[in-house]
Structures are given as structure tokens and as C-alpha cells.
């Protein structure tokens, strides 16, 4: 990416200061940056002390063999004990850990004492099934409390879990099971989605049939419908787990003991088994959850709407919030069942004070219309978060106005499966935010923007986002593939020793960071680098547009031409006049070079289950070629619809 991108960037001048009341009582204040800069390792050591350790560490960071980091070496702890037992021991057993809301409206209230019993029983059950410390357990589960019990039970006995999205196919599950050689598969009969039962067991069976390492399949009964049963392999959760003792003594494991493997969502290619370990990971997710969400365990109700099968669910439903003794909401279903106000109804019902969701959801709510959230009492909200993609400034403003009543701070959090926890984000009591900017690295985290030679760009410059110092929750590798770990993340800027995140970014004149999307998505039009994020944000800033995805398709004269796929807001009519109005709008906002050659109005965009737009598939359509791998798509039929609307790309 070159500097010409930058002069094109939208000129965003709106500024939002932290509310005085929040700032006055904030968990983390501005001095944290200076303290962390002064002595980064001492800073993280202090954060590690939020946890309960069975044995203290000898060394904070061992970086003698980069890029393989070890944090808190010699220390021992149990992640499940930290997320559950210690809160009960401290007298908070009656505090609600999870308000579960099923899609059909059934509810469960799980206190920390309940959680301790359920996790202990599940840990005893895993042991009875022959799972030992170090064995891998695959979890193919939807958004139900047993998913959390299962993950924590694994952590409790030191068996790394590998959670696979419930929406993934049997084949996607099988390849993940085989890659990790998982011994046990935990699944459900089915779950509720869009008012119907999603039948999961046949997929689990097909995956287990093909994956030779699986010995047993432990099945939670959620929907109660009839499912195929293999008596040699299948075990009902309610039969095995319920008869176990609810006492279980957690063993302390080494800080570097593997906690989980999580396969990246596969937006760009073959999924990678990202490995996370225990001490550093738990330290960073607990600290960042405390700092970024300003959680007050006595009064807040936290709701992260991510699926637990995504890293956001691991770090900000399970490990971060529970380590911090949060009370949270867990919701099984979709935002539009039985009506498009379901999220807002949940917030009203549970008095949610902190909401963490994704730009893709926000743009969908914009499309559905402002009148829907307006019908609910959202006055309990005091903080809003965003994760997953760059948030378009207009979506940011809509979120603040319509959900946050124009008063809640928004934390736009940049991070990845690989980083384990949040890396770049405002601090809600400190940062004056700019809509669309993730602002700056958190205290104790170091990031920068470099050019293609690895030289740091000055303020006002743009290039590649790098992480230039190790951080506690960094991935420890790719499961079983040390070379791929080095090649993927550390070879691009090997000389400087930087971790290459794969994302483009710019630094504005104040040095604040603006994420520009994946480097692979950057378009090259007539010799100019243009980021998809910029063009999409320009389109979304037009009042008729709810969501846009832009790709660069091969073009004989200009190298690439910009093709935009646009979803309109409710009530808008797609016609030639709007087509040219949108093209002119982009031209006016960014410059004539960024004007889309072609605009295609669509009803849906292809997305991964984590809600990210899969631009490579749109590019396949725009270039009129067979689609690449669609296995991680939420709904593959979306592509047929789009392709049928775009018979010829040229
Ligand atoms: P794969 O690596 O397999 O293609 P993925 O990158 O989609 O999958 P994740 O680790 O869930 O899987 O996503 C991390 C990526 O999401 C980041 O690298 C970045 O591109 C994007 N992202 C996440 N949060 C933000 C944010 N706040 N602003 C901009 N981009 C974000
Ligand atoms: Mg990625």
C-alpha cells in the first residue's frame, strides 16, 4: 500500500469524549499507558496477579527462541479454577454467572455455585471416558450452557479443547478433528435456529465415522428430537454427567500448558489450528476484559453476542468474563427470531449494561430500521463494543445514536484468533474516540504500521499493521506445523522480527490507527492502491445503503476495476438513478479513482459464521469463475442468488 491511499481516506472529524461519570470511576485510567511503557514486563506481571496461581512464575517472558514465546515460566495454575471455584470460595456462589436465553424463550439461570458443580461433574465424566491431561477434545456445540461447562471441564483436567462452529459441515468438523487427533467429540442432538430445529447429530456422526481418532461421542440433549444412535460410540450427557460427583479437585498446570486449539474462520484459505496456552492467555483476556469493558462485577450485565465457536466467544464469553466474575447473557438464537427486535428485547429483559457485537450485525440492524430498537428500553446500556471487521464510521454513529442513546462510549476492538485477546482499542474512560478508528494499542501492547520494507511509517502514513513486541496471549504456534507458523506470521518482516497481522492500516496525524481490511483485499486500480474498507465506508455513508462489499476484479485496461455489491436500507428502490448516485457519491467522498465501475444490488452478502464478508467469493463471481472453497459460509445458497443476479461480470 502506498501513501496515495491515505490522501483518499475519508475525512472523519467527529470526536466523542468519555462520559465524565464513567471516566471518574473507570477501571483503567490514562496512567496505565505510561506505567506499561516504563516497564512492560512488570506491567504484565501485575496483571497476572489478578489470577490465582498455585505456584508463582520464575520469569515473566522467555523470548530466547523467537517466535516461540513462553510467558510466566515455572508458574502453575488452573484456568477453570480461576474462572469458577475461586469466586465461589470468595463468597460469590450465589451471583449469576450466566443468564441463558433459548431461542424459543426458555431460560436458565446459572450461578457461580451451579457452574462449579456442573463443571466438576463434567470433568469427572471426561475422566470416566478416558480423557487424560494433554488429550484433545473436539466440541461441536451451539450456544447452550453445556458448551461452557464442556470447555471449562476440559481446562480443568488439562485436555485442550478444539471448538468447531455448530454451523460448520461434517467435512469441516472431520478435518479439524483429524488435524488435532481429537479423542472425544462433544455435541448435541440439535439446537434452535430461526424457529426450527437444526439437526446436528447426523453431521457429528458423519464426522466421527470419518475421523479414526474419535473413541466416544458425548451428546447433550437440547431439542429432544429423535436422533440416530450408535450404542458403541454414543453416550448421553444427561446419563453420564448427571450421575457424577459434583466434587472435583482441579490440578494446577504449567503456565504454558495448551489450553485450546481454535481453527481460524477460514476467510482467506485452509484453516489454521491456532494454539493458545494457559497463563499468558488468561492474564491478557482477564486484563483486557476489565480494561476495555470497564466491568464492575457487582452491577454490570455483560453480553457478547459472538458465537462461542469463534475466538471472541472463547475470550469474551468464557475465559475473560468468567475470570472477572461477570454476570452475562448467553443467547442461543438469531437476532430476528421471532421478531427483528429480539436483541433489544434481551437487553431490556436482562438489563444488559455492556454489549459487544460485530459490524455485520450493526449494519443489519441499520437495514431493518431505526424504529425497531426504538421500541425497547435500552437505558441499562452504558458501553458498546465492536469486533470482527473495520466498523464503517456511519455504522459506528448509528450504533451510538440508536442503541447507545447518543451517550455510550464505543470501543472498536482490533484483534485476531492469533492474538488471543484485544490488542488495539480505546479505553472507555480515557480515550476521545473517532468513529471508525480502533485508536491505539492497549497498555502493555505494542503495534505499528510499516511500509513494504518494514520501515515504520510516519503519522499520516499507511501500510502493514505489525506487532513489534511479544504479548501474553499471543498464539504459541499452529498445531503440528511450526514451519507454517513462521512462514505465515514471521517471514514477511523477519529481519525486523515483527509479527505480520495480514491487515492494512493507516496512522492519522495524531498517530491513531485506522484498520483498512486485509492486505489481500487491497485493490490496485490504474496504479493506485485503494482499500476495500474505504470504498465500503463511503458507500455506507450514503443514506440509501445498509451494507456494501467491494472487490477488485481483473480488468484489461486498469489492472483491476472496482465492483461493489450493495444492500439497500429498508424502503429503498434499486434503479439506474440510485446506481449512478452511489457511484458519484463514492467519487465525491474519496476521489474519481475509487468510483465503482459496477454496482450490484443484492439482498445478502456471503459471510462466514463469524459474520465476515468473504470477498474472495465475490471476486470469483465478478471475474466469472468457479467459486472457491465455500465450506465456512453461513449459507451457501447466498452465492447462487448473487451469481444469478450477475450473469456477466464484464
Ligand atoms: P482467516 O485468518 O482464516 O482468514 P479470520 O481472519 O476471519 O480468518 P479472525 O481471527 O476471527 O479470523 O479475524 C481476525 C481478523 O478480523 C483481523 O485480522 C481483521 O482483519 C479483522 N478484524 C477484527 N476486528 C477488527 C476491527 N475492530 N477492525 C478491523 N478489522 C478487524
Ligand atoms: Mg485471520
Mean pLDDT rounded to a whole number for the chain:
93
- pLDDT over threshold 80, residue 650: no
60 is in an annotated binding site: no
Nearest CA to ligand 1 atom 18: 416
Q: How much is the CA Rg of the chain, to the nearest whole Å?
A: 24
Tell which one of 179, 612, 629 to mutate to probe ligand 1, the residue whose CB is within 8 A of the most ligand atoms: 612
Proportion of the chain above pLDDT 90, given as a percent:
84
Tens of pLDDT, residue by residue over 549-562, are 999 999 888 889 99
pLDDT at residue 419, rounded to an integer: 98
Three cell numbers written together for 613? 464478508
Ligand 1 pocket member 438 (CB < 6 A): yes
For the stretch 605-629, pLDDT in tens is 998 777 888 898 899 889 888 877 7
pLDDT of residue 634: 67
Cβ of 488 below 6 Å from ligand 1: no
Q: How far apart are CA 183 and CA 607, in angstroms?
A: 31
Residue 6 has pLDDT above 50, yes or no: no
pLDDT of 3 above 80: no
Total-model pTM:
0.92
416 lines ligand 1 (CB under 6 A): yes
600-615 as b/e: b if 16+ CB within 10 A: bbbebbbbbbbbbbbb
229 is in an annotated binding site: no
Tell me the CA–centroid distance for residue 43 and ligand 1, in Å: 27
Quick one: pLDDT at residue 1?
A: 39
Q: How much distance in Å is there from the Cα of 421 to the middle of ligand 2?
A: 14
pLDDT mean over 132-150: 98
Ligand 1 in contact with 311 (CB < 6 A)?
yes
Rounded to whole angstroms, how far apart are CA atoms 181 and 306? 27
| pLDDT reading at 410 higher than 60 | yes
Q: What is the pLDDT of residue 181?
A: 97
Atom of ligand 1 minimally distant from the CA of 501: 18
ipTM computed for the complex: 0.99
Residue 8 confidence (pLDDT) above 60: no
For the CA of 533, the nearest atom of ligand 1: 29
> How high is the pLDDT of residue 565?
96
| Atom of ligand 1 at shortest range from CA of 612 | 7
Q: How far is the CA of 416 from the centre of ligand 2 (A)?
A: 6
- What pLDDT digit, counting tens, does each position of 316-331 carry? 999 999 999 999 999 9
Place of cell 474419535: 214
- Residue 178 CA from chain centroid, whole number: 24
- 271 appears as a binding residue in the annotation: no
% of the chain beyond a pLDDT of 70? 96
> Ligand 1 centre from 618 Cα, in Å?
18
Buried b (16+ CB within 10 A) or exposed e, 185-218: bbbbbbbbbeeeebbbbebbbebbeebebbbbbb
Predicted confidence (pLDDT) per residue in 196-246, tens digit: 999 999 999 999 999 889 999 999 999 999 999 999 999 999 999 999 999
Q: How confident is the model at residue 265 (pLDDT cuts 50, 70, 90)?
A: low
Amino acid at each position: 500500500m502506498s501513501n496515495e491511499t491515505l490522501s483518499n481516506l475519508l475525512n472523519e472529524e467527529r470526536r466523542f469524549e468519555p462520559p465524565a461519570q464513567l471516566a471518574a470511576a473507570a477501571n483503567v485510567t490514562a496512567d496505565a499507558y505510561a506505567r506499561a511503557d516504563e516497564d512492560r514486563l512488570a506491567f504484565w506481571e501485575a496483571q497476572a496477579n489478578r489470577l490465582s496461581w498455585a505456584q508463582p512464575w520464575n520469569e515473566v517472558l522467555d523470548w530466547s527462541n523467537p517466535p516461540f514465546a513462553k510467558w510466566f515460566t515455572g508458574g502453575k495454575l488452573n484456568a477453570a479454577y480461576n474462572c469458577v471455584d475461586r469466586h465461589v470460595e470468595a463468597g460469590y456462589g450465589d451471583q449469576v454467572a450466566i443468564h441463558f436465553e433459548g431461542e424459543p424463550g426458555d431460560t436458565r439461570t446459572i450461578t457461580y455455585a451451579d457452574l462449579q458443580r456442573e463443571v466438576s461433574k463434567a470433568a469427572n465424566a471426561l475422566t470416566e471416558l478416558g480423557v487424560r491431561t494433554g488429550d484433545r477434545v473436539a466440541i461441536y456445540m451451539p450456544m447452550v450452557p453445556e458448551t461452557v461447562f464442556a470447555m471449562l471441564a476440559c481446562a480443568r483436567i488439562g485436555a485442550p479443547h478444539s471448538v468447531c462452529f455448530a454451523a460448520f459441515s461434517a467435512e469441516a468438523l472431520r478435518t479439524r478433528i483429524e488435524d488435532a487427533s481429537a479423542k472425544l467429540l462433544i455435541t448435541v442432538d440439535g439446537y434452535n435456529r430461526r424457529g426450527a430445529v437444526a439437526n446436528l447429530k447426523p453431521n457429528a456422526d458423519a464426522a466421527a465415522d470419518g475421523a479414526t481418532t474419535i473413541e466416544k461421542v458425548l451428546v447433550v440433549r437440547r431439542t429432544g428430537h429423535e436422533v440416530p444412535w450408535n450404542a458403541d460410540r454414543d453416550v448421553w450427557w444427561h446419563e453420564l454427567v448427571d450421575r457424577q460427583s459434583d466434587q472435583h479437585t482441579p490440578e494446577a498446570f504449567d503456565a504454558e500448558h495448551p489450553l485450546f486449539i481454535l481453527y481460524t474462520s477460514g476467510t482467506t484459505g485452509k484453516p489454521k489450528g491456532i494454539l493458545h496456552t494457559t497463563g499468558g492467555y488468561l492474564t491478557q483476556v482477564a486484563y483486557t476484559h476489565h480494561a476495555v469493558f470497564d466491568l464492575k462485577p457487582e452491577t454490570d450485565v455483560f453480553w457478547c453476542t459472538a458465537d462461542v465457536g469463534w475466538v471472541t466467544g472463547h475470550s469474551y464469553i468464557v475465559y475473560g468474563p468468567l475470570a472477572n466474575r461477570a454476570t452475562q447473557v448467553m443467547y442461543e438464537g438469531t437476532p430476528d427470531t421471532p421478531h427483528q427486535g429480539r436483541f433489544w428485547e434481551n437487553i431490556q429483559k436482562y438489563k444488559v449494561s455492556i454489549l459487544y457485537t460485530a459490524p455485520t450485525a450493526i449494519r443489519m440492524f441499520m437495514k431493518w430500521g431505526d424504529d425497531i430498537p426504538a421500541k425497547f428500553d435500552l437505558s441499562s446500556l452504558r458501553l458498546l463494543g465492536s469486533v470482527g471487521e473495520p466498523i464503517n464510521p456511519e455504522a459506528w454513529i448509528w450504533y451510538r445514536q440508536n442503541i447507545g442513546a447518543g451517550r455510550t462510549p464505543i470501543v472498536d476492538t482490533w484483534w485476531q484468533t492469533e492474538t488471543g485477546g484485544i490488542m488495539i482499542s480505546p479505553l472507555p474512560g480515557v480515550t476521545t474516540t473517532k468513529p471508525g478508528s480502533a485508536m491505539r494499542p492497549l497498555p502493555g501492547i505494542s503495534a505499528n504500521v510499516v511500509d513494504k520494507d518494514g520501515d515504520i511509517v510516519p503519522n499520516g502514513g499507511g501500510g502493514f499493521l505489525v506487532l513489534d513486541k511479544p504479548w501474553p496471549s499471543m498464539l504459541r504456534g499452529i498445531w503440528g506445523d511450526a514451519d507454517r507458523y513462521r512462514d505465515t506470521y514471521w517471514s514477511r518482516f523477519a529481519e525486523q522480527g515483527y509479527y505480520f497481522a495480514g491487515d492494512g492500516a493507516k496512522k492519522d496525524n495524531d498517530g491513531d490507527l485506522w484498520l483498512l481490511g486485509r492486505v489481500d483485499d487491497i485493490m490496485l486500480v490504474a496504479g493506485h492502491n485503494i482499500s476495500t474498507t474505504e470504498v465500503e465506508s463511503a458507500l455506507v455513508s450514503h443514506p440509501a445503503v445498509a451494507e456494501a462489499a467491494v472487490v477488485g476484479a481483473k480488468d484489461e485496461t486498469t489492472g483491476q476495476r472496482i465492483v461493489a455489491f450493495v444492500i439497500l436500507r429498508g424502503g429503498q428502490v434499486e434503479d439506474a438513478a440510485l446506481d449512478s448516485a452511489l457511484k458519484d457519491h463514492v467519487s465525491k467522498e474519496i476521489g474519481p479513482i475509487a468510483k465503482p465501475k459496477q454496482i450490484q444490488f443484492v439482498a445478502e452478502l456471503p459471510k462466514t459464521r463469524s459474520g465476515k464478508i468473504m470477498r474472495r467469493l465475490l471476486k470469483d463471481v465478478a471475474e466469472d469463475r468457479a467459486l472457491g472453497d465455500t465450506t465456512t459460509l453461513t449459507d451457501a445458497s447466498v452465492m447462487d442468488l448473487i451469481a444469478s443476479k450477475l450473469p456477466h461480470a464484464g
